[in-house]
Amino acid sequence: MNQLAVKQESEFLKRIRNPALFGKIMEAEDTLQFFKDGMYLGFSGFAEGHPKTVPALLADHVEKHGIGKMKFNVYTGASIGTDVDDRWAKLGMLGRRWPHQQGNAIRKAINAGEIAYGDRYLSMYAQDFGYGYYTLDNGGKIDIGIIEASCITEDGSIVPTLAVGIIAEIVERADKIIIEINSKIPSLEGLHDCVGVTLPPNKQVYNILSVKDRIGTTSIPCNPDKIVAIVESYRDPVGRPLGAPDGNSVLIANHIIDFLQFEVKQGRLPKNLLPLQSGVGSIANAVIGGLLTSPFENLNVWTEVFQDNLLDMFDSGKLDYVTTASFSLSDNGIKRLLANWEKYTSRTLLRPIQITNHAEPVRRLGLISMNTPVEFDIYAHVNSSIVNGSRLLNGVGGSGDFMRNAYLSIMHTPSTRPSQADLHGISCVVPMVTHVDHTEHDMDVLVTEQGLADLRGLSPRERALRIIDQCAHPEYKPLLQDYFHRALKECLASNSAHEPHMLHKVFKMYRNLEEKGTMKLENWD
């Protein structure tokens, strides 16, 4: 073992509590022998919790011995650190890559047609991955799974780190497993609630009646014969920058808080609301900020990512319990978490996507779900993933699991975004979205800084009027009203006015943006 390893040896060895596995301990460099071009790999991780050491060594190897010589098909829980994704993308090491990413380099490579990237609602992805649907060409197998672990228990089970992701599914499908023990962060044993892979007709009930109900185990059983290497990985978590609330975000958050208060008053929500699912970004942070100063107490959160704002909520005393799929904290947030470990984690469960995003608990618990899309249209179809019908942003992630099944499905976005030529060059309210991730049959509420449109029970034409009226930016309102009324007139003439559209003109605002740098079309002629 090298210097660094020796230095940490005692902690590292302490983390392997099954002595029968000592024989699998290996220098990380020595695992390179297992990898071959074209292999299917599964990585632990969802925001954090991904393997860092072996992937970095593989990248070093490729950098040294020739770019493009090794390409892999990589499956993770969701996006992982750009330390791996972006570096691998730059080195041409990614063939297929599922589901979700956040790096500039990997995004560029996907949109350049170099990586076969795919998306599916995360809970279905996790389940179908366990069924072998993503590795059909490889006999349903993952060749090598690389798992970042806190420790290995006496019975050889794996205790994850800052996310569970799809570790159980990878372990089920993998021929070989490499475990990276991350001894730089404390062991997270006890924080997780893991379930295995069962196929129908033998699937079990997820008997969760509240955010804090445990149904699984604190570690993931693993056949020791599959483990080919255990390596030390002495690495800090990858911190993520926070989206600071801006003026629009605060306005949006205020609309949402007002709406929730109204719903409580109407008796449609309990006083402590229902479990909150909130996405990432500045609006999500503003909403949490708004809740901190609201009269709501004893709140619960059921979400994908535990961000810094939940530390604030715990500090405020308003937060009772959190279920999350991952920790995604800033560098400062990581420090705060580690400094007050017991306080924050004693009322937190870290679960696999298979549970956090599953329709069964989401629907039974009755989540209030809030996420930010790219754009929505006048009939309430929502685009979360692809610009201009073609260019991928980060992927659809888990938003669809929540939007479909929540008690209240809320999408929030600024009404406009700047283009290069115009501060309000892009309207986020359009006649027809260019890609649909959530349909008109999914949405309850749409919000922009202009206002909140409660769409429950409305027909498409009623929705259009309300969305334009409540959500569109004043500079686009007349244009969208004109579209709707012209479309209505045209469609009435052809007896097809259920959801009026003019297909031959529907994407003209995008064309105008391309040609003139703004969606402010002169007219619809």
State how far the alpha carbon of 436 is from the alpha carbons of 105, 307, 428, 507, in Å: 25, 27, 14, 14
Task: Indicate which single residue of 434, 450, 470, 518 sits in contact with a second copy (rule: CB under 8 A).
Answer: 434
- Dihedral sign, CA of 451, 456, 458, 463? positive
Asked if 104 is part of the footprint of a second copy (rule: CB under 8 A), the reply reads no
Asked if 391 is part of the footprint of a second copy (rule: CB under 8 A), the reply reads yes
- Alpha-carbon distance of 253 to 494, in angstroms, equals 42
Task: Indicate which single residue of 336, 404, 466, 473 sits in contact with a second copy (rule: CB under 8 A).
Answer: 404
Residue 32 CB, nearest approach to a second copy (Å): 27
464 to 493, contacts with a second copy by CB under 8 A?
487-488, 491-492
Task: Indicate which single residue of 108, 184, 477, 485 sits in contact with a second copy (rule: CB under 8 A).
Answer: 108
- Helix (H) or strand (E) holding 515, with range, is helix 508-516
Q: Which is nearer to a second copy, 133 or 341 (CB)?
A: 133
Round the CA-based radius of gyration of the chain to a whole number and report it. 24
Cβ proximity of 232 and 7 under 8 Å: no
Residue 40 CB, nearest approach to a second copy (Å): 10
Q: Which is nearer to a second copy, 232 or 263 (CB)?
A: 263
- Alpha-carbon distance of 1 to 48, in angstroms, equals 27
Q: Is 304 a catalytic residue?
A: yes
Residue 488 CB, nearest approach to a second copy (Å): 7
CB atoms < 10 A from the CB of 118, how many?
A: 14
- Alpha-carbon distance of 280 to 402, in angstroms, equals 14
Residue 87 CB, nearest approach to a second copy (Å): 20
Q: What string marks each residue from 69 to 88 as x (binds a second copy by CB under 8 A) or -?
A: --------------------
Asked if 103 is part of the footprint of a second copy (rule: CB under 8 A), the reply reads no
Q: Which is nearer to a second copy, 162 or 433 (CB)?
A: 433
Asked if 116 is part of the footprint of a second copy (rule: CB under 8 A), the reply reads yes
Q: Which is nearer to a second copy, 68 or 389 (CB)?
A: 389
339 to 358, contacts with a second copy by CB under 8 A?
358
Supply 88's token pair: 């691998």
Asked if 499 is part of the footprint of a second copy (rule: CB under 8 A), the reply reads yes
Q: What string marks each residue from 130 to 159 as x (binds a second copy by CB under 8 A) or -?
A: -xxxxxxx--x-------------------
Q: What are the CB-based long-range contacts (under 8 Å, 24+) for 1-7?
A: 1/27, 2/27, 4/232, 4/234, 5/232
Q: Which stretch binds a second copy (CB under 8 A): 59-67, 215-223, 328-336, 458-466?
A: 458-466
Q: Mention every residue, 6+ apart, whose C-beta is less than 8 A from residue 351.
A: 164, 192, 193, 194, 216, 323, 324, 325
Q: Which is nearer to a second copy, 204 or 523 (CB)?
A: 204
Asked if 112 is part of the footprint of a second copy (rule: CB under 8 A), the reply reads yes
Residue 387 CB, nearest approach to a second copy (Å): 7
Torsion (CA) 103, 106, 111, 114 in degrees, nearest 10: 180
Residue 116 CB, nearest approach to a second copy (Å): 4
246 to 285, contacts with a second copy by CB under 8 A?
266, 268, 270, 274
Q: Which stretch binds a second copy (CB under 8 A): 13-21, 30-38, 241-249, 432-440?
A: 432-440
374 burial (CB, 10 Å; 0-12 / 13-18 / 19+) is buried
Cβ proximity of 350 and 163 under 8 Å: yes
Asked if 388 is part of the footprint of a second copy (rule: CB under 8 A), the reply reads yes
State how far the alpha carbon of 205 is from the alpha carbons of 132, 166, 213, 355, 459, in Å: 21, 19, 13, 11, 35
Residue 60 CB, nearest approach to a second copy (Å): 28
Question: Interior CA angle at 363 toward 359 and 368, to 5°?
Answer: 115
Asked if 435 is part of the footprint of a second copy (rule: CB under 8 A), the reply reads yes
- Alpha-carbon distance of 124 to 396, in angstroms, equals 12
Task: Indicate which single residue of 19, 23, 64, 201 sits in contact with a second copy (rule: CB under 8 A).
Answer: 201
Asked if 495 is part of the footprint of a second copy (rule: CB under 8 A), the reply reads yes
Q: Which is nearer to a second copy, 313 or 513 (CB)?
A: 513
CB atoms < 10 A from the CB of 313, how many?
A: 20
Q: Which of 304, 375, 449, 499 is catalytic?
A: 304
How many residues lie near a second copy (CB under 8 A)?
94
Asked if 396 is part of the footprint of a second copy (rule: CB under 8 A), the reply reads yes
Residue 330 CB, nearest approach to a second copy (Å): 29
State how far the alpha carbon of 303 is from the alpha carbons of 14, 118, 140, 396, 464, in Å: 32, 22, 30, 15, 30
Q: Which is nearer to a second copy, 116 or 423 (CB)?
A: 116
Q: Which residues pair with 229 in a beta bridge?
A: 178
Active-site residue set: 304
